[in-house]
A and B are shown apart, each in its own frame.
Chain A
């Protein structure tokens, strides 16, 4: 049978299929227009800034454009010995042009990111370069400051030659690309970022675990108690939620410090001697306690919303089939709460991984996390490309965890409320 014989026409002679498609298209456009504002909003506030961050973290055109002659003459230089006169001369010419355009400050900031110590020697060079005589620039520049005679600084300049670079990401892992193009570690006493990444993950992990252990019984109680009690309990859960973060952090400091309320109480009941009070603040313990309390509602609420929907009759059915309370809990109740656990753990983990105010205040020597470093480069050094790179690494970490979660539990199994 050919398709022509099967074709059904509408009353005005258009094939039904076409007519249906037309109507459907209209609906599709309508639906799209309905979500368009949200899409646009997401695009402007989310996708675009992340794209911008990505660009910033790899884009190094600015320095490439600032020192065109220098980089050209450096192509032949292998980076082992001091560069030849030719490099010095072209650097001098590039630099003089930047001084004229008043852009030498920007160059000094940029080079200082690659290697510390450039700021002052470029300032000094600007002052001295006014009186330079023609020729023999190598000697004249090396006379300005002893660092100019240090080959390390010239290698650092060479490293800025490519227009696009992965150096910021390497720096986030305490590594850099050396002259031979090999990726090597920075000096041992400066390897801090790896410590910070691990510390951030460790704290986020344990805070999530502690939150889960504490929130599960609370949420269960909330879901099973009669309305009038559970409402009261709910307010108790939410009340701290409405209090300022700093106030809550400061309260923990007052409670937990060595001369604090909790320690005073321990001494009073004779649990610990007065001259040997335990340290519960300004270390990781303080961070765990304060952050767990602050993030607890984010775990309780998704758990509660899932538990509320579990019918009590399921547990009864389990028991009537001969299960002990533990078996019925483990085989029936617990699996049903997994969507809530997933949602809560993801929420708390993602929030915890970006926390920095609380750890900075209560964490003592271990209070610096990777987000402190990001904030430092955003605010003080203005190295936004490095901050972007670290931000994206953090984002990649979160996405990786999301991916693992999806593999293990399945993302459809998530329930936020």
Chain B
């Protein structure tokens, strides 16, 4: 008996070594999101290529991969990162640069990969994965009337009550300007042009300050993605900005009395990057191409309300409606990139934030300290 258990121990050890040598390791955010990635394209890709894919959780940022590299022992092949991190990581030489149309397959109708993706990549190291929205939602039982525009979010006369906004400057300055009357323009370029100037920044900060100090309004600052729906449902606030996938879960998944408003939404992105010198770079590259194919990206939208980066994936979804895993919810109208939802939107500009994030963050905190 003892011998047998020893043998088993040795066997499992050997197995774990050999399997990890072939496997591709992907670091992502965990929770329902990683689940959607795993079921949507991870498992199908692993089956197709015959390469196991391990998913590990991390909490964002580049500090871990930088530390892995400095220690000379890289354990991740692919990382799911924000746009800013693809720029910083690419500049630091942590990630592999792509030859986009060669490394990624074209759409089924022959459109090249670079044209099929919703917007150009922020860096040569990035390949889009999902788009999510910074939109806002309101509690239908606490709000009289129906807020329709981003201006309504700031209109405390018509819709009195507290608002929940994100704790940092990111996207708050943009919606403040959009609500203050600046037309976002194509992809929000006009907003960012205004924010390049001192005047524009002050205008945005004042708009937020006005909302937060208004006796009919007031602000709650949220820091975790789960907070906005929770704050809405508990009645702590009447409106909240947040991530559309979280609102979707509360609204469709749990039947909470909340409704999303897409006007003035900010589209933000998740990307995959390939780690330079990762343990299994060659297989990882193949797996990455497979996961970000038209079918692959459409697959994840079955499990979560984030939009696939490829336009061709939306077509696959429209054909397969009701696409959501419950078998009765149409997913295309829930997509941040759906035509009905992108009448007035801005693309969160990662380069702008990479450029100005620190100083704007300091100004933002100083403004908050004066509330």
Interface residues of A (CB under 8 A from B): 102-106, 108-109, 112-113, 116-120, 123, 189-192, 195-196, 199, 254, 257-260, 282, 360-361, 364-368, 376, 378-383
Smallest Cβ-Cβ distance to B356: which chain A residue: A116
Q: Which residues of B contact A109 (CB under 8 A)?
A: 88, 91-92
Is B84 an interface position by the 8 A CB rule? yes
Given A105-B90, A105-B93, do A380 and B363 touch, yes or no (CB 8 Å)? no
**Quick check: B61 and A380 within 8 Å, CB to CB?**
yes
Is B371 an interface position by the 8 A CB rule? yes
Question: How many whole Å from A252's CB to the nearest CB in chain B?
Answer: 14
Question: How many whole Å from A32's CB to the nearest CB in chain B?
Answer: 30
Smallest Cβ-Cβ distance to A110: which chain B residue: B91
**Quick check: A379 and B60 within 8 Å, CB to CB?**
yes
Q: Which of A106, A116, A379, A381 contacts B93 (CB 8 A)?
A: A106
**Quick check: A361 and B354 within 8 Å, CB to CB?**
no
Q: How many interface residues does B have (CB within 8 Å)?
A: 40
Beta-carbon contacts under 8 Å, B331-365 to A? 351-352, 354-363, 365
Interface residues of B (CB under 8 A from A): 60-63, 66, 84, 87-88, 90-93, 167, 212, 219-221, 223-224, 234-236, 351-352, 354-363, 365-369, 371
The 3 closest A-B pairs by CB, nearest first: A105-B91, A379-B61, A116-B359
Q: Which residues of B contact A118 (CB under 8 A)?
A: 355
**Quick check: B220 and A282 within 8 Å, CB to CB?**
yes
Query: In the bound complex, how far is the Cα of B83 from the Cα of A380, in angstroms?
Result: 11
Q: Which residues of A contact B91 (CB under 8 A)?
A: 104-106, 108-109
Query: In the bound complex, how far is the Cα of B367 from the Cα of A376, in angstroms?
Result: 18
Query: In the bound complex, how far is the Cα of B89 from the Cα of A109, in angstroms?
Result: 10
Q: Which of B92, B167, B235, B352 contacts A259 (CB 8 A)?
A: B235
Question: How many whole Å from B248's CB to the nearest CB in chain A?
Answer: 22
**Quick check: B369 and A381 within 8 Å, CB to CB?**
no
Query: In the bound complex, how far is the Cα of B371 from the Cα of A365, in angstroms?
Result: 7
Smallest Cβ-Cβ distance to B162: which chain A residue: A258
Query: In the bound complex, how far is the Cα of B93 from the Cα of A105, in angstroms?
Result: 8
**Quick check: A257 and B359 within 8 Å, CB to CB?**
no
**Quick check: B368 and A368 within 8 Å, CB to CB?**
yes
Query: In the bound complex, how far is the Cα of B355 from the Cα of A394, in angstroms?
Result: 28
Query: In the bound complex, how far is the Cα of B235 from the Cα of A113, in angstroms?
Result: 41
Query: In the bound complex, how far is the Cα of B360 from the Cα of A260, in angstroms?
Result: 34
**Quick check: B366 and A120 within 8 Å, CB to CB?**
no
Q: Which of B60, B66, B221, B354 contacts A282 (CB 8 A)?
A: B221
20 contacts between A and B (CB under 8 A): A105-B93, A109-B91, A112-B354, A116-B355, A116-B360, A117-B356, A119-B355, A120-B355, A189-B363, A190-B359, A190-B362, A190-B363, A192-B365, A195-B365, A260-B234, A360-B167, A366-B369, A368-B365, A380-B357, A382-B66
**Highest count of chain A CB atoms <10 Å: which of B61, B90, B91, B356:** B91
Given A109-B88, A116-B355, A381-B358, do A192 and B61 touch, yes or no (CB 8 Å)? no
**Quick check: A364 and B221 within 8 Å, CB to CB?**
yes
Query: In the bound complex, how far is the Cα of B371 from the Cα of A364, in angstroms?
Result: 11
**Quick check: B63 and A365 within 8 Å, CB to CB?**
no
Q: Which residues of B contact A191 (CB under 8 A)?
A: 366
Q: Which residues of B contact A260 (CB under 8 A)?
A: 234, 236
Query: In the bound complex, how far is the Cα of B234 from the Cα of A104, in angstroms?
Result: 50
**Quick check: A365 and B212 within 8 Å, CB to CB?**
yes
Q: Which of B61, B354, B361, B365 contacts A119 (CB 8 A)?
A: B354
Given A195-B366, A257-B236, A364-B221, do A379 and B361 touch, yes or no (CB 8 Å)? no
**Quick check: B371 and A381 within 8 Å, CB to CB?**
no
Smallest Cβ-Cβ distance to A199: which chain B residue: B369
Query: In the bound complex, how far is the Cα of B61 from the Cα of A305, in angstroms?
Result: 42
**Quick check: A382 and B63 within 8 Å, CB to CB?**
yes
Query: In the bound complex, how far is the Cα of B85 from the Cα of A381, in angstroms?
Result: 9
Q: Which residues of B contact A366 (CB under 8 A)?
A: 368-369
Q: Which residues of A contact B219 (CB under 8 A)?
A: 364-365
Q: Which residues of B contact A192 (CB under 8 A)?
A: 362-363, 365-366, 369
Query: In the bound complex, how far is the Cα of B352 from the Cα of A383, in angstroms?
Result: 18
Q: Which residues of A contact B235 (CB under 8 A)?
A: 259
**Quick check: A195 and B369 within 8 Å, CB to CB?**
yes
Question: How many whole Å from B212's CB to the nearest CB in chain A?
Answer: 7
Question: How many whole Å from A240's CB to the nearest CB in chain B?
Answer: 21
Smallest Cβ-Cβ distance to A360: which chain B residue: B223
Given A108-B91, A120-B351, do A378 and B63 touch, yes or no (CB 8 Å)? yes
Q: Which of A120, A189, A365, A380 contacts B221 (CB 8 A)?
A: A365
Query: In the bound complex, how far is the Cα of B357 from the Cα of A382, in angstroms?
Result: 12
Q: Which residues of A contact B220 (CB under 8 A)?
A: 282, 364
**Highest count of chain A CB atoms <10 Å: which of B62, B63, B92:** B63
Q: Which residues of B contact A364 (CB under 8 A)?
A: 219-221
Question: How many whole Å from B195's CB to the nearest CB in chain A?
Answer: 12
Smallest Cβ-Cβ distance to A254: which chain B residue: B234
Q: Which residues of B contact A378 (CB under 8 A)?
A: 61, 63
Query: In the bound complex, how far is the Cα of B209 from the Cα of A365, in angstroms?
Result: 11
Question: How many whole Å from A173's CB to the nearest CB in chain B?
Answer: 13
**Quick check: A382 and B359 within 8 Å, CB to CB?**
no
**Quick check: A380 and B369 within 8 Å, CB to CB?**
no
**Quick check: A380 and B359 within 8 Å, CB to CB?**
no
Q: Which of A105, A195, A379 contacts B92 (CB 8 A)?
A: A105
Q: Which of B60, B62, B362 contacts A382 (CB 8 A)?
A: B62
Question: How many whole Å from A261's CB to the nearest CB in chain B?
Answer: 11
Q: Which of A117, A254, A257, A376 contacts B355 (CB 8 A)?
A: A117
Q: Which residues of B contact A105 (CB under 8 A)?
A: 90-93
